A and B are shown apart, each in its own frame.
Chain A
Amino acid sequence: MNQPTPSPPTLPVSLAANPKLSAWLKFSSTGQVTVSPGKVEIGQGIVTALAQIAADELDIDLSRVQMIRASTATSPNEGVTSGSLSIQQSGRAMRHACAEVRRIFLQQAAERLGVEADALDIEDGTISGPGNVRTSYWELADEVSLDRDATPGVVPKSASHRALAGHSVQRIDIPDKVLGRPRFIHDQALVGMLHGRVLRPDNARARLAGLQQDGARAVAGLVAIVRDGNFAGIVSETEHGAEAALTALRKGASWSDGGPLPDENDLAAFLKGQPVESTVINQKTSASSGKAARTIKRQYTRPYIAHASIAPSCAMAQWSGDRLHVWTHSQGVYLLRADLALVLKLPVENITVEHMEGAGCYGHNAADDVALDAALLAKAANGRPVRVQWSRQGEMSDAPFGAAMAIEIEADLDAQGEIVDWRHSIWGNGHVARPGRAAQPALLAGYEVANPFPRMVSTNPPQSNGGGSDRNSIPLYDFPSWRIESHRLTTMPIRTSALRTLGGQGNVFAIESILDEIAADRGEDPVAFRLRHLRDERAKDVIRAVAARAKWKPAKQTGIGHGIGFGRYKNTGAYCAAIAEVEGAAEITVRKLTLAVDVGEAINPDGVINQIEGGAIQATSWVLKERVRFDRQRITSTSWNEYPILRFSEVPDVEVEVIQRSDVDPVGAGEAAHGPVTAAIANAVFDALGVRVRDLPITRDRIIAAVEST
């Protein structure tokens, strides 16, 4: 009888792409380990979690770990820090690399000490064995070469042998931020640094017809006015001078009309009326589907949503001959470098892109755009570094937005109100136009320079990578049959790219809303209804946990409502269930959110809770307030007044329960809460008011409209 051949062990994906162990770890003779991940800190605490993993696997104190910021000059290429994949990709690679390095050191120690490697122990880097023999990583650092490739098959420690991972530790970046030590890119000053600003039209597609430069030239401190096609900007000795010169340059600029923008008050009609590329995402057929007695059909929409980082994007660039150095808070240093090379027509080897922390970006904002701006302006700086910072207005209008979506679900119900068939269709722009992945650049100034590149139209990642518009659109429930379709717009009058969850928030909102309606029509409890239609015990566990924690279902009170939402991010990542308690009539207040989450092994449990809390509060802000506003010519929501977000007094209480599964590979937590919280709030609004609001955001006007239409 043939035994099935066990599949050969493989390296974690990031380590397979960057197998050289020395790219990840370096040991010093003075008792430090420098760790170089390719993922970057964007306020999510990843650097701390990776340090925990490394310290744990190496048996050293966390304080010995020095984390190195990603740079194309030194770091492994781990693509982009996105998709809640950092723990999954970088964490696994780090754990594997550290396990192998530990073994290499143990072998070296065994030779030196003349004992078996198996007999040796490591404690905070000191290696000791029988007969009081001892050495250390630090003693061996110079004789152990890590310039060798990682090998598959190394087995990291089991969960029960880890001392750090799985326990909450304080994030290593927080003391600097609290004590006012410059840590953000915005706060760095390079020697001889100049300041740049870029002039941009109100309508992104307007062309620069004329540019009177006299006014700007008269401003003190001006170093250069740069014009390259429709790209124009200034360089100044001071930031104040740069602002003043930009104001003067704006007065001297005349623009052609750009393209028209859609009608913001009828997004669904716009999205459904554009040329599209249609894809069947998934189809499930069943011979035993029951007979449909009736069909319910509902349409859900979400607006364009701004990343609206609290800090305007910022970058620095410096030329030295035909070599360029860029400092950036981009989520992907190698990907940005690839696009810079395309626009600047340079080999990638001539460009170094180095990461510095910025504010939370929540996806693809203007971080990459401003880096090209800085590189273009720095050409006029005679080798001095140029720092460029966008304005609030620019950040709110020129950066990509999260794509608007129209989602239609039709559910066929049998005579008992059970679902016998399910059809889910999505219309919208693609959710990703990130740099570094195509033959054309995705950077704004690349569309503005003379001989411009064509504007990139956003696309969607395949389902195997979690999908884009279609993310989370395939039901996790046991419906007998379904058909999921995505209609991606091939025009893009409003620029979109990755925003937290991509299409996940919209799809979970739609699915969980219509399910709530179907359960209510049957007179069935929405928690029981979901549990009855789920087969995955981890899914059921988060729902049971959140229901228990929120004492589902609290007694009915006038003006108060409760609702539940559930999702598994990307259908493959973190499980999350949320219960919302809302209050109100026309104006909705979210009083409390209770969540249960399962990310497998939670490396830093407090970090997971922090991410879930933050995601829940940000989602509440999206649901209650956020909508990019525009007229037919320009984006109009260009300030915090015109694009309000949730304030302290409006923030709900948030309680999070983490289901710790130390033996299950960890996944990220940053995007798990948005979909479930959105649905939970919408369902709670129904519970409170008896109306279904199917168009986000759930504002006073939308509630009144929903009341009137029922």
Chain B
Amino acid sequence: MPSVRFRLNGADTEIDADPDRSLLDVLRGQLGVTGPHFGCGAGECGACNVILGDHAVSACDTPMWSVADKDVTTLEGLGTDEQPHPLQRAFIAEQAMQCGYCVSGILMSAAALLKRNPSPTSREVKEALDRNLCRCGSQNRMVRAVLRAAEEMAAR
């Protein structure tokens, strides 16, 4: 079995896996990283979004060969219990969810957005999250939370 090396949440990681296996499969299966959630398996819902390099991608249709030597960030690597990412604090402050299953992927899409655009407009946030589905109807709260996090990050 060939091995693939990449950095997962900052840590060098080497894993024996078929290069065509999906990143989500390896993260949730062999590595036990459950932040990214399975939603559709076809890159259509965003529940499994992770940050690959600087961009949010759906892990379910990202093959392992494409992450070789790259940085992968999952929700587990976004912040810690002691030092949550401003987005995590903002999602709590805005109570920005109902069931929360989609939230992991949405946080990753939002984090990638704030990296490349630290002060997005509400329209830009919606565009950045447009490939993430939320079935409970919490989108407006999530947009408010992302804007709140951006403000907080700008004030630091």
Contact = CB atoms under 8 A, between A and B. Distances in A.
Interface residues of A, number: 56
A577 to B, nearest CB: 18
A112 interface: no
Given A174-B97, A178-B91, A648-B126, A640 B137 contact: no
Nearest to A389: B38
Contacts of B129: 648
B49 interface: no
A221 to B, nearest CB: 11
Contacts of B92: 170, 174-175, 178
A274 to B, nearest CB: 31
Contacts of B42: 392, 639-641
A31 interface: no
A389 B88 CA distance: 28
A618 B137 CA distance: 6
Nearest to B134: A310
Contacts of B133: 310, 640, 645, 647
Interface residues of B, number: 53
B143 interface: yes
Q: Which secondary structure characterizes the binding site on chain B?
A: loop
B138 interface: yes
Interface in A303-338: 308-312
B140 A238 contact: no
Interface in A166-217: 170-171, 173-175, 177-180, 182-184, 186-187, 189
A44 B98 contact: yes
A141 interface: no
Contacts of A152: none
Contacts of A83: none
Contacts of A389: 38
A180 B134 contact: no
B41 A310 contact: no
Interface in B40-80: 40-42, 44-45, 47, 74-76, 78-79
A615 B35 CA distance: 26
Nearest to B36: A180
Interface stretch (A68-76, A371-379, A606-614): A606-614
Given A178-B84, A310-B47, A647 B130 contact: yes
Contact of A184 (B37, B91, B134): B37
Closest 9 CB pairs of A and B: A43-B99, A617-B137, A614-B137, A177-B100, A359-B101, A187-B34, A360-B99, A180-B75, A640-B44
Interface of B: 21, 25, 28-29, 32, 34-35, 37-42, 44-45, 47, 74-76, 78-79, 81, 84, 88, 91-92, 95, 97-104, 107, 125-127, 129-130, 132-143
Interface of A: 42-45, 170-171, 173-175, 177-180, 182-184, 186-187, 189, 238-240, 308-312, 357-360, 362, 389, 391-392, 606, 610-611, 613-618, 621, 639-641, 645-649, 651, 653-654
